[in-house]
Amino acid sequence: MKSICLVGTDGHGKTTLIQQLVGKLVSKGLRVGTIKHSGHEHELDKPGKDSYKHRTAGARPAGIITKSMAGVYWQLGEGQNAFETMEPLYVDCDIVLVEGFKTGPYRKVEVFRVAAGGTPLAASDDTIEAVISDDNPDVDVPVWPRSDLDKLADEIMELVR
């Protein structure tokens, strides 16, 4: 799976940027998948709903289908890599944009805005390969302009080649 993690602290614009990048990459004829990583333990399904009841009864996986959408829930086993498990769903994608997953083993670029506060993660994390920012952060990796979506989309696609 050709993927890139867009990392950064809360409030620096990861979700907004991913939305814009999806639109830009799709307009270039690419098939784009996304994954939102959460470092927190929380319920994804709605407690009390049928799909929740199926899953908590032991169904592996438990799915839900409507006229226009489908979803599948499964419990991860001890040590199971969720990305490897999900990979078949993304096999036709040219790129998968992952929001978050700072500690993951995948390629990472950071989204950073001075106005959001803090210091860039890239200043102390050598796994981050570039910073996306219209500011001038003090980092030792390339800084890609946030406001130039065409250039940014090209840089990201080059990184995953």
Neighbours of 6 (CB within 10 A): 23
Band (pLDDT 50/70/90 cuts) for residue 44 is confident
Helices in 48-146 by DSSP H: which ranges? 50-56, 82-86
pLDDT of 9 over the 90 cut:
yes
What does the pLDDT read at residue 79?
86
What's the average model confidence in pLDDT over 28-42?
86
Residue 40 binned pLDDT confidence (cut-offs 50, 70, 90): low
Cα distances from 153 to residues 69, 95, 148, in angstroms, run: 28, 11, 9
**What distance in Å separates the CA atoms of residue 33 and residue 94, rounded to the nearest whole number?**
8
Using an 8 Å Cβ cutoff, are 22 and 97 in contact?
yes
* Domains of the chain with bracketed CATH: 3-41+79-160 (3.40.50.300)
The string of pLDDT tens digits covering residues 55-84 is 899 888 889 999 999 988 888 888 888 888
Q: How confident is the model at residue 119 (pLDDT cuts 50, 70, 90)?
A: very high
Q: Quote the pLDDT of residue 4.
A: 96
Alpha carbons within 13 angstroms on the beta-carbon side of residue 86 total 21
